[in-house]
Structure 1
Amino acid sequence: MSSMILLDLLGGVALLLWGLHMVHSGIVRAFGSDLRRILGTALRNRFLAFLAGIIVTALLQSSTATGLMTASFVTGGAVDLAPALAIMLGANVGTTLIVQALSFNVTAVAPLLFLVGVIAFKRGGQTRTRDLGRVAIGIGLMLLSLHILLDTLAPAEEAPAVRTLLAAITGDSFLCVLMAAVLTWVAHSSVTVVLLIMSLAYSGFITPVAALALTLGANLGSAINPVIEGSNSSNPASYRLPLGNLLNRMVGCALALPFLHPIADALSRFEPNASRMTADFHTAFNLVLAIVFILPLAWLASLLTRFLPERAKPNNPTAPLYLDEAALGTPSVALACAEREVLHLGDIVESMLLQGMTALMTDDRRLVAEVSRMDNAVDKLDEAVKLYVTRLTRESLDERDGHRAMEIIAFSINLEHIGDIIDKNLMELAQKKIKRKLAFSKQGAAELEAFHQEVIGNLKLAFSVFMSGDVKIARQLIAEKATLRTAELAAAESHLERLRERRPESIESSSLHLDVLRDLKRIHSHICSVAYPVLERAGALQPSRLRVVEPDESSTDDKDAASAG
């Protein structure tokens, strides 16, 4: 009998974990990018951040996922640590809301959730509808698993061995905290462990004091996993956020542990139902922690920054800086990491473009070699970005994130092509100029430098389009393409005029001058490519630039051609 109860118990817990996973994955696919934007906006002050942490985590049902999203803003010092810690305080409260909802007798809703979820998942025309169907099925599975747990634990009097074993294990409050912390770390879900504790308390397998101690352990355990798995061991600064959250939990557990008996007595007067009492304590504990720590967060952030300083980045230009492996489980965060890495790649390409032109104008062999080394770094980073993004399977991305993944890869490839043009073409021209001791005329050099500055300015514009997706800036970038085409024709005409005047420098460097113009124009074409997906999404692109020919006009042209033949 005891072995069957244990087996049913483990099956119920497994079903609960799977239901929670479906809720989390469905919400991430449906609203992942929106939730990340909410967090990014909320990081301006700690109180707004606290509220955002509650909302986002109540939807995601994973404080670890919220922590990963927040860490993507904090790493590298993009935002202050204090509001990020406030988000984690809110995240801890947010995870208690589903526990509160499930602590009531709502099992009867499960069949309706299954029905609605399956219809939405199978018949939903939009990706988001299918994702919300997945969420409904997940909640239904959680309710069903709780029903299984309660049915399994109901005949407590028929399993005295299990009751005796649990009483012996949970007799010591400190041991309860440690045991629940380890169990939560293994399960990667405080919600699952707290719901299991509530089921045990409701069935009378554990005392109210033991239930509260186990709940403390579940809260502690949920903060351990991000410290172990969610940080970059090579950079101590990446531990600031998860370690700050863990310290908050540890202090809270240490303060509450000695007073569990009077707390249990006080709560039992208001809520005799052991299951509801556990849920209330779980929420109250996290609310009190938030109230206690929300004001001194700046001091805690300062302390963490002092003891966990930012490590100097290794002098290896080919090593990715932002491709966080831990973020792959949360697609919206992983895409943000890839975006940052592409901008890092873009910074190197911009340096190549600047130094390459300097090498061409000053005949600096050292700069030519440096540009070649930088191109090797661009190639390696482009490969790393492509591999990282493709590890996010198509099934894990909603339609919008799928398009964004393709845009990231496309822009990375275009930047890599720009690097190749600079290295393989412009630097070859620079070496040719140095070897043959050629020189541009003053007017020709000024035209090339002005043309080059236009290209550099539009590269910065392309970075803005890539990050913001702003249609107005995308239009401006495409308009610059026509402007640069006109500038190229003007520069070429001016050069031909100098040839007609038989200027010696212009005659000697004629081929070189026109080749530089051609390569800079090719670079500009790759730069402008980032604007097309933005304009296509906005419906601002025409199917073709060709003029539509009327049928009569076409037949007339054919007749004219035939007569000419």
Structure 2
Amino acid sequence: MSGSVVLLHLAGAIALMLFATRLVKTGVERAYGDVLRHKLRATMRNPLMAVLAGTGLAVAFQSSTAVTLLVASFAGAGIVSGIAGQLAVRGAEIGSALVVKLLTFDLSLLVPLCLTAGTVMFMATERRDWRQFGRILIGIGLLLLSLEMIGQASEPLRDSQLMPMIVNYFAGDPVTAYLLAALVTWLFHSSIAAVLLMATLAGRGFIPPELGIVLVLGVNLGSSIIAPILTRRADPGIRVVPIGNLLMRGAGSLAMLVLFLAFDPPVAMLGSTVPDQIVNAHILFNCIILIAGLPLATLVYRLSQKIVELGTPPEPANALADTELSALDEKALDHPGQALANATREVVHVCETVEIMLNRIIDLYDKADEQKIAALSLLDDRIDKRHAAIKLYLAKLTTRSLSETEALRCQELLGACVKLEQVGDIIVRNMLAHVSKKMERGLTFTDEGWREITAFHDAVLTNARLTFNVLISRDPETARQIVLEKDRLRDMEKQSSQRHFERLRDGTVKSMETSTIHLDTIRDLKQINSLLASIAYPVLEQQGLLRGSRLQAATT
């Protein structure tokens, strides 16, 4: 077999591994994301629980980077402290290392079981939770299959005359090997995939143990760089956690490399085989970083704040009210396709503002002040201005000669913009009023009542993001999922109301004091979800999947 064919097979196996990892992560986010986010909010107050929560989330999401981004968003919103967020990320790194350890065992029998069971569950039902669990099983099966494929694809390299020369070069130049491993991990966007690849190649005899330790340290450097790059344009409060992780894990890997090269400790104690030594070294490194990070947490957090502040230009006091650039080019009106694209860009800006408002309103229920309330009201003014501009722009466009498809798209964008404007009004006129009332009277929800509200809000926010995607992609499967979720949220509302009235019957004081706010908030969130779900209707109508107020049965 020629070298190019071997590399092609190896590239295909690696691509399957990356896809399978993403498939598992997507399935977990869609099926259990709301619950996991809610659990994270509730447990991050305690440092030990923050570490354990990060570990559990990394195992569930199959990605420490995903956990880092999630925790960073919570820290940026003030839901958790920056120190607790960094401890959670420390736990997430250990969780991802444990996933690697689990996947190195002989799990070949699980491949057909996971693929069969996952496919049956995904195709045999329309229930969202079952379909997503089936997606998770398929992803696990493909991940295990990809590891077998990597081993088989690399087998011909045993007879290669070039491979020993490459390995010997990197063994003699550990700094280059360290940086190359960091680059590969950054390209993969997954430390799990990078370590699994190295362990698999080491099992075939291609990587000696000393070089494997160097590569593992490079993997940890590369993994620590991913989140800071992805959040480089985010709010300063969000960037602090990824920067702190880079300081601890990235700098820790560099320090550990220097110590390893200086003292050349024996690696046999890490395991009886080279793959075990590589994986165990990965786990040991992250445990050391966690232990070292506990006493240094406050120092690292302050240092990361200083670094973020140095790279953040000062914002004007009225930043929320600043006028933004508009995509509504009047010159493009004579070219309907281009004009519709411009209008779509502008509607996307409205979607982004609505998502910001949805994110911030739930935080105000927990901790509000007059300044934050006023800032949120300014966002609604921004939506009103954009809505008026888009409506006028599309009205002018309808005076041109449009095809049937262009006319339908024009109506679809106008309808979406109207509904987004109504969502903004509900948040500001209704939900902000509840926030002000709660703040003025010093009221607090019961723990159970607050869990119900945040869980309902998380579900609505997830559906909102899916709706914004459908507005661009026009994917019928996602649109169908959004409408099905509308029915699920109706059931959630009924269950929440029943539990609330049970607390009222039991005479719970907090429930009686916050009864109106609780019920009205759930009602407002349900109305927001209904408005957003209706944005997906045109896609389903064009596919013949919508009949009256009910979804038609799928024909495929």
Query: What's the TM-score bracket when you normalise by the shorter of the two chains?
Result: 0.5 to 0.7
- The amino acid that maps onto 2:425 is E
1:157 corresponds to: 158
How far apart in 2 are the matches of 1:190 and 1:412?
42
417 and 154 in structure 1: CA distance in 2 versus 1, 3 angstrom threshold: closer
- The amino acid that maps onto 2:286 is N
Alignment of 1:498-513 (within 5 A): none
CA contact (8 A) 1:62 1:189 kept: yes
Q: Does 1:339 align with 2:358?
A: yes
- The amino acid that maps onto 1:83 is A
Match 2:318 to one of 315, 322, 336:
315
1:301 corresponds to: 301
CA deviation vs aligned residue, 1:329-350 (integer Å, no higher than 9, x gap): xxxx99985522456999xxx9
How far apart in 1 are the matches of 2:81 and 2:265?
41
1:45 corresponds to: 46
Alpha-carbon deviation of 1:66? 0.8
Q: Structure 2: give runs of 5+ residues left out of the alignment.
A: 325-351, 390-417, 457-495, 502-515, 530-556
CA contact (8 A) 2:14 2:146 kept: yes
1:207 corresponds to: 208
CA deviation vs aligned residue, 1:84-121 (integer Å, no higher than 9, x gap): 00011001111112210111122232111111111111
1:142 corresponds to: 143
Equivalent residue of 2:320, what SS? coil
Equivalent residue of 1:192, what SS? helix
2:199 corresponds to: 198
1:428 corresponds to: none
1:181 corresponds to: 182
CA deviation vs aligned residue, 1:20-63 (integer Å, no higher than 9, x gap): 01110111111001111122122202211001000001110111
CA contact (8 A) 2:59 2:99 kept: yes
- How many aligned residue pairs are there? 402
Which structure has the larger Rg?
1
Alpha-carbon deviation of 1:410? 6.9
1:250 corresponds to: 250
Equivalent residue of 1:107, what SS? coil
Alignment of 1:453-492 (within 5 A): 457=437, 468=454, 471=497
Q: Structure 1: give runs of 5+ residues left out of the alignment.
A: 322-332, 356-371, 385-408, 422-452, 476-523, 538-565
Question: TM-score, normalised to structure 1's length?
Answer: 0.61
1:282 corresponds to: 282
- The amino acid that maps onto 2:384 is D
457 and 258 in structure 1: CA distance in 2 versus 1, 3 angstrom threshold: closer
- The amino acid that maps onto 2:212 is A
How far apart in 1 are the matches of 2:64 and 2:307?
24
CA deviation vs aligned residue, 1:386-411 (integer Å, no higher than 9, x gap): xxxxxxxxxxxxxxxxxxxxxxx979
Equivalent residue of 2:41, what SS? helix
291 and 415 in structure 1: CA distance in 2 versus 1, 3 angstrom threshold: same
Q: Determine what percentage of the aligned residue pairs are the same residue.
A: 27
How far apart in 2 are the matches of 1:252 and 1:14?
30
Equivalent residue of 1:164, what SS? helix
CA deviation vs aligned residue, 1:331-387 (integer Å, no higher than 9, x gap): xx99985522456999xxx999x99xxxxxxxxxxxxxxxx9987435158899xxx
418 and 239 in structure 1: CA distance in 2 versus 1, 3 angstrom threshold: closer
How far apart in 2 are the matches of 1:270 and 1:456?
58
Alpha-carbon deviation of 1:189? 0.8
CA contact (8 A) 1:167 1:205 kept: no
217 and 382 in structure 1: CA distance in 2 versus 1, 3 angstrom threshold: farther
- The amino acid that maps onto 2:189 is H
Match 1:377 to one of 382, 390, 393:
382
Alignment of 1:39-188 (within 5 A): 39-188=40-189
CA contact (8 A) 2:170 2:177 kept: yes
How far apart in 2 are the matches of 1:273 and 1:138?
28
How far apart in 1 are the matches of 2:353 and 2:100?
28
CA contact (8 A) 1:220 1:249 kept: yes
CA deviation vs aligned residue, 1:162-221 (integer Å, no higher than 9, x gap): 332233244321111111111111111111111111122111212111111111111111
CA contact (8 A) 2:67 2:92 kept: yes
How far apart in 1 are the matches of 2:158 and 2:270?
27
1:531 corresponds to: 523
CA contact (8 A) 1:43 1:84 kept: yes
How far apart in 2 are the matches of 1:252 and 1:455?
44
Alpha-carbon deviation of 1:271? 2.0
CA contact (8 A) 1:30 1:131 kept: yes
CA contact (8 A) 2:248 2:300 kept: no
